[in-house]
Amino acid sequence: MPIIKPPSSTARTPQRSNGIKRREAILRAAAEIISEYGTAGLTLHATAKRAKSSIGSMYHFFSDKDELLDTLRERHRASMNDIMSLATAVTNHEWRNMSTAEVIDALFGKPIRYYSEFPFALELHQLHEGQAIDTFMTLVEAVITLRLGAVHGPRVARMLYAISTGTLSFVLDVRGTVHRSNVADIPDALAAYLALQEDLAAGQSGLR
């Protein structure tokens, strides 16, 4: 659940209220289509039909599908940056003294709830992996290493990331919407795994 930095969009931003409403309706329709069918199912004509807008209005605001996607990605990027900025502002002292559930919520819970509310964002994120994932993983690894130490921290951090992203992708898959109600269980599963690892690490420390 990393911070996304897509290319700058050249989509036209309306100034009048009617134009703003039409553009918002188009963006909502596009997000719904992506949530249901993935980006492959998105077309300007399908979006216009769902938004109850003319194809002329579509081309007034977005020259093509890529520009429409870029606008959605920019919104996603801004929202995820706001969420992740809260996590990066937490001090080392605070990370060490949080409960296991609080750590998971700060690192994974808020992004997971965001993706649950806006499933289309996960599809867009999957198209822009790379440095953003490295940034998020660096944060997760630093936090878990603070709590478990350098021997166990990196391994547990990688597993937490794998569990969260793999499970989230499964439950929000556009072909498996029946599983979306399970999103709320993901933080609990992560917290249970981290709690077990912290207990094991504490037990091993006590044996030394």
Residue 18: both structure tokens together: 């009617």
Is the Cβ–Cβ distance between 77 and 6 less than 8 Å?
A: yes
SS in 3 state form for 136-186? HHHHHHHHHHHHHCCCCHHHHHHHHHHHHHHHHHHHCCCCCHHHHHHHHHH
Query: Which residue stretches of 62-152 are H helix?
Result: 65-88, 92-97, 100-104, 110-117, 120-126, 131-148
Residue type, 95: W
Those residues of the chain that have pLDDT short of 50 are 2-10, 207-208
DSSP class of residue 89 equals: T
Q: How far apart are CA 152 and CA 144, in angstroms?
A: 9
Can you name the CATH fold of 17-67?
A: Arc Repressor Mutant, subunit A (1.10.10)
Indicate the pTM of the whole model.
Answer: 0.74
Encoded tokens for 117: 């509310």
Domains of the chain, by residue range, sit at 17-67, 90-207
